[in-house]
Each structure stands twice: as structure tokens, then as C-alpha cells.
Structure 1
Amino acid sequence: MQPRITHLDGMRGLAILMVIAYHAYARWPELLPFVATTQHNPLFSFGWIGVQLFFMISGFVIFMTLDKSQGYIIFLQKRWLRLFPAMLIASVLLFLAGGFFPEWSLMTPYVKNLLPGLIFLNPETLSQLTGVEFRSMAGSFWSLYVEALFYLIIGAIYFTLGRKYCLPALIVPMLALSASSVLKSLGHPLLIDVISKFGFIHYAWFMVGCLVYERLHGRDKLFHYGLVVLALLINFSYYVKNSGVISLAPLLCVMLFFIASFYSKQIERFLSIRFFTAIGFVSYALYLIHENLMIALLIKMQRYIKSEAVMLLMPVLVAGGLYIVAWLITRYAEPALRQRLKGKRQAVPAAKTGLLPPE
């Protein structure tokens, strides 16, 4: 069995802190007036790159899981058992909480909106397929839809064509997406709308993680680097188009930081401190619940708290409370539900589940 890489747990912790900071202090200025004073601070405004960090971690650890799986179905079962229990618990929690926060429309207390998260399919595609309008229980679920499809694809390639075809196969949907404008001009707009919602544009980050893992194990090839560079160029063009050239700076920084963490003892020690690993332990559950509950609570609080200085501190306190909720989910509820789903009744130690689990 391969040893657990401690600094990846800490990296998960850092990643979720970045995402929380972005949502609390930059994402919603129209809902939270105090955000007007913080939204342009790079420390907060670029916090969205925490998701790219999660994707790279996932790409890195995926071969560990594939190597320890006896087949495609077993691999998918492992992935499902890692992701589904916390998703079910978080979805039900958000559903039950929705009625207490009528101030924010994104809290959606409708049973049908449980479905996208529970089957890991984005609501836009589900709406197109069924003709029924669906919404996610939380906006942050979008990256789990990308994760789930990534697992389906890379597992299928690994167990049919072999490991050496995994990286080449991941570039294929990215190239298809980059050619979507041509396909659309040929009269297939619905097809392109469906393809664009699958999140293939983000596969560049999984590929970076995969390549680092392969390099550390002496399996990297020159053409792998060419594939990853091409994938990154496609991805960067997407961000430049939507966010401007300035978005390339944080993307490059987070990529270099991820790579350097495997070669720098200083970065490894920094990420391995208890503060980061403790947050990394609950990162998956915290990621699922934080945005909706945090923003909804802050909207409600500002009706009673008129001091901007006090409101600036409230996200820290709310995030601390949500950490406790996420810890209870990760330590007790999630392992118990997982064992039920496995059909086992005996007590087992709680798994240290992160957003992008290592097994």
C-alpha cells in the first residue's frame, strides 16, 4: 500500500480556505455590501483558483486509486462510495435549511433539486434531457459534476486501452470543445450546449496532476508534456476570453505552487502543519455546504448588524461554525452511511475524506 502524502491533505485545506475566502469576500458584493471593500483584494478575488488546486490533486491521486482497483466497476464503486455519502448528507442538510433562508433565492428547498447532486450530473444537462427545470442545491456542486465525469472517462480508458492512453484520451474532449464553434455553425447548437456543460475545459488541471504523478514514478514521456501544454493553452484561452489576461497570473501561480510542493521541503512542511491538514480532513463536506449556508447566514445577519467592521469579521466566525458541522459529517455521519451502503454493520475508523480523496 502506498503511504499517504500528508502535504496533499494540507493542500486540500489551503484550497478550501481559498474558495471560502472568495465566496465570503469577493463573489457576492450585490448581496453583501461589506464585500465592496474587499472584492478587489487579490487575496480574495483570486480565491476561485482553489478549485483548480483541487482538480490537480485529483489528477495526481487518480492513478493511485486505479492501480489499487481490480476492475472498472470496482473503481467506480470506490469513487461512488467516497463521493456519494457526503453529497447525500450535504444535500439533505441544504434542503432542510433552505426554508429558513428566504432572503436568498439560491437556497432551493425543492425536492427535485436534490437530483443533480445525487447523480452527479449538472442541472443544465439534466434539464435539457428531461424538459424539467433543475437547479443544484449549491453552486459549488458544479466541480463535483466535472469530477464524476472525469472518473468515468479515465477509468474506462485505463481498464480498456491501458494507462499509457489516459493522458492522450483526456485531451480529446478538450479538442472537441475547442472545435465547438465549427460544429455549431454546422447546425448543432444543442449538441454543443450539452458538451460545453460537461466541464471538459477543466481537464487541463487533472492532466497536470496526472503528469506530476507519472513523472515522480518515472513514467513521463516527452509527448505527455506536449499534451499538457496544449491542454493548458486551450484552458487559458477560455479564461482570457471570460476574465481577461490578468486571470493567467493566478492560474500559473497555483500550478507552479502545486508542482513545487513535491520538490520543496519548505512548501511540504508548510502544507503539513496541523492547521491545514485538520481543515483538509473536512474539506469535501465543508466545500459542499459552505457557500449556501455561509452566504445565507451573512445575508440574514446584516439585517441586524449595521457595523461594516463587524460584518467583515462574521465570515470567519460563520466558517468556523461550518467547520464544526463539516467535522461531524466527516468524522461520524459520512463513515456510518458509507458502511451502510457497503452493507456492513461493524464499526470502523473514520476515513479522512477530502474533496479529492486519495483512495
Structure 2
Amino acid sequence: MRHDNNFDFLRVAAALAVLISHVRPLHDNTFPLGDLGAVGVFAFFSMSGYLVSASWERDPHAGRFLSRRALRIFPGLAAAIAFAAFVVGPLVTNLSFGDYIRSPLLLQYCRSILLYPMSFSLPGVFADNPFRDNVNGSLWTLPMEVFLYGSVMAISLTLRSSQARIAALASLLALCYGLEIRQASGIVLTMPTQELYRCASSFIVGALLWQLRDDFRLPDWSWMPIVVFLLAVHATAVEVWSLILLVPLATVSFANASYGFIRRAGRFGDVSYGLYVYAFLIQQTLMHYFPSIGVNRFFVWSAALSAMAGFASWHLIEKRAIKLKGTLSRRVSSAAAATS
């Protein structure tokens, strides 16, 4: 996989797509492009499936793999949760500071750093917003992301041959497809199963594309007809599964290409994760302080502030955490050697 690719750009585009989709429930139900959220989420999961599978193959060690994934997810998430709970929350709650601090909802929200279960409410926060009592709805995808990281590791440790892993992934994709057709619903590890099937399917397609990269090389231009097809089937009965299966193909094709200035999108850092985990909170805060703000201004301000939050998150927290990967990996290896 070459390094002069479009992955950085596409991650930011996916995060912005999710932000755009939240304008509709948070501000204006008539705002167009609300369906972009699903495209953004499926693109994120397909890139994760592809890149996490590549990461495992480069270094197939369970301890080091888990440490890398933890350092990518949890430091930025912990900062976002703390910022919401101890900076934004006390400023916008309709409770007194004492009642806010003593509320069990505060501790419950802070426990979301463990991912299972997630809590989305803080005491008295955003109680009068159009989308009430939800502090950061975007975080619902993170438990699924971490669950799927573990699944990649489990499959890779259990099945040593590439063909066996491909067969297992294809079987899991078929299972998700079948359960979606049956509209099987429920909760698994606090995760809604219907959303889990869909996100897992995109992740699995991404993982399969990595496993099949030598035999099934997507041309750099193949994303173009896929996008045309998806536009053609918009709002039809086949749209959801067309998105789930074809967005990963278009995503990996576009991401592995190298287009001029697009491939340099990461020169300021990878702002996508921070943009994603702060956008919903920023949008809700804007609606709290400026309830009559126009929809276009709301979108521009929320995108600009979220991009700045992503920039700060990367340079102040995430980049520094990632630098610890080497140190932590060496300690994990030393501990494993000492116990063997």
C-alpha cells in the first residue's frame, strides 16, 4: 500500500458527511443531504476494515495490536468526554453546579470511556434543544469499531491461512446480510444489532479487499461508476445494501488512488477523528446559545469549529499518544517474553 494516497482526505470527508447529516435532526428537518451520514459511517468502517487488517498483517502480535488500537481510540475519546462533562456541561446545564456534579448521570456519562455501555446524556444539558438531552450522539459507532478490531484479531489468531480467513470473512458477511434481510433486532453488548450488521458488513468488505488485494486489485477509477450507480438507486428498495456493499468498494478504490492536492490533505495532521468526536457536541452547543441561527450559518460555523477541534485534538493529544506506540509495544513484547 503506497503512502501517497487519499486516505487522509477521505477520512475528513467522511467525518464532514456525518456532520452534514446531523444538521437535519439538530436544526432543520428539511436540510438536504441528510443521507450523507450513512455514506460517511460506511466509508469509515470500510477504511477501518482495510487498514486494521493491514496493521495486523504487518505485526501479528495480539498485545502490540491491542496497544496500537487503544492508543488511537481512547486518548482522544477521553479528552472529548472530559470536555463535554466538565467544561460544556457546567456551562449549559439548567441545574445548579452542585446538583450537576452530584447527579449520577455525570458519572454514567464519564463511564462511556469504557464504551460498554455508552451514555449520551448529561444532567440538564441541552434539555431545551430541538434534539433534546443528547450530548454526543456520534459516539455510538465507537463500541462497534472496537468490537470489530477484536474480531479481526480473533479471526487472524484462529485461522492462520489467508484462504481460511477469506472464507470466514465471507461467511460473516453473508450472515450479516441474512440477518439484515430478516430484520433481526436486539442488543449485543449494548449495541443495536441492526446497526451492527450494517457497520460490520462495511468493515468486513474492507477487510476482504485487503485480503484479496493481490487477486482483486480495484482500478483507481472504479469508484466513479459506483458513485453513479449509488446516485441512481437513491431512495429505492436496494439503496441500503447497495450502500453497505458498494461504498467500501468506492472508498478503497478512491483512497488507494493519488490525486494531486488531495493526497496532501494530511499535511496538517489527521484531524478526522477529533472532528468526528467533537462535531455533534459543537452543533448542540451552537443550538443552545443561538437557537435562531440560520441553517447555512449553523452548518458553516459547526464545520469550522469542529475542524479546529479536530486540529487541536490531533496536535495536543492524539499525535502524542501515537508516539507512545513504540514504547508501549516494546514493553508488551518484554512482558510477553518474561512470561514465556
TM-score (norm 2): 0.69
Which TM-score applies when normalising by structure 1? Answer: 0.66
Corresponding residue SS for 2:141:
helix
Q: Deviations over 1:217-266 (max 9, x none)?
A: 3379xxxxxxxxxxxxxxxxxx99xx954545655663453254267x6x
In the alignment, what sits opposite 2:247? 254
* 1:123 equivalent in structure 2: 118
Q: Note closer, same or farther for the CA distance 1:300–1:259 as it changes in structure 2 (3 Å cut).
A: same
Partner SS for 1:297? helix
Residue aligning to 1:317: 301
Correspondences of 1:165-244 after superposition (within 5 Å)? 165-170=164-169, 171-172=171-172, 175=175, 178=178, 196=193, 199-218=196-215
Residue type of the partner of 1:111?
A: L
Q: CA deviation at 1:194?
A: 6.9
- Number of matched residues? 286
1:50 aligns with 2:40: yes
Q: Distance in 1 between matches of 2:196 and 2:36?
A: 20
Contact 1:55–1:205 (8 Å) recurs in 2? yes
Structure 1 Cα separation of the partners of residues 141 and 82 of structure 2: 19
Matches within 5 A, 1:320-331: 320-331=304-315
Alignment of 1:1-359 (within 5 A): 3-24=2-23, 26-28=24-26, 32=27, 35-38=28-31, 41=32, 43-96=33-86, 97-102=88-93, 110-116=106-112, 118-123=113-118, 138-162=136-160, 163-170=162-169, 171-172=171-172, 175=175, 178=178, 196=193, 199-218=196-215, 245-247=238-240, 254-261=247-254, 268-269=258-259, 272=262, 274=264, 276-277=265-266, 281-303=270-292, 305=293, 308=294, 311-337=295-321
Q: Can you list the C-alpha shifts for 1:39-88, whole angstroms capped at 9, x where unaligned? A: xx2x3433331010001111111222102224112211111111111111
In 1, Cα distance between the equivalents of 2:177 and 2:208? 22
Q: Which amino acid in structure 1 is aligned with residue 70 of structure 2? A: W
> In the alignment, is the contact (CA less than 8 A) between 2:49 and 2:203 conserved in 1?
yes
Tell me by how many angstroms 1:283 deviates: 0.5
Q: Is the 8 A contact 1:85 1:338 kept in 2?
A: no
Deviations 1:144-188 (A, max 9, x none): 111101111110111232243334334448627945999x9xxxx
Question: Counterparts of 1:214 and 1:193 in 2: how far apart (Å)?
Answer: 30
8 Å contact from structure 1 (residues 9, 281) kept in 2:
yes
Q: Percent identity?
A: 20
Q: d(CA) in 2 for partners of 1:316 and 1:190?
A: 36
CA offsets, 1:106-154, max 9 Å, x none? xx961222223x2232438xxxxxxxxxx98622112111110111111
For the residue of structure 2 that corresponds to 1:302, the secondary structure is: coil
Amino acid at match of 1:202: C
For the residue of structure 2 that corresponds to 1:47, the secondary structure is helix
Shift of the 137–74 alpha-carbon distance from structure 1 to 2, 3 Å rule, reads farther
Q: Does the CA contact (< 8 Å) of 2:283 and 2:302 recur in 1?
A: yes
Q: Which amino acid aligns with 2:108?
A: K
8 Å CA contact retained: 1:149, 1:198: no
Question: How far apart, CA to CA, are the structure 1 residues paired with 2:135 and 2:35?
Answer: 24
Report the alpha carbon displacement of residue 333 of structure 1 after superposing the two structures with TM. 2.3
Where do 5+ consecutive residues of structure 1 fail to align? 125-134, 221-238, 345-359
RMSD of aligned Cα (Å): 3.9
> Which piece of structure 1 moves more, 2-11 or 152-161?
2-11
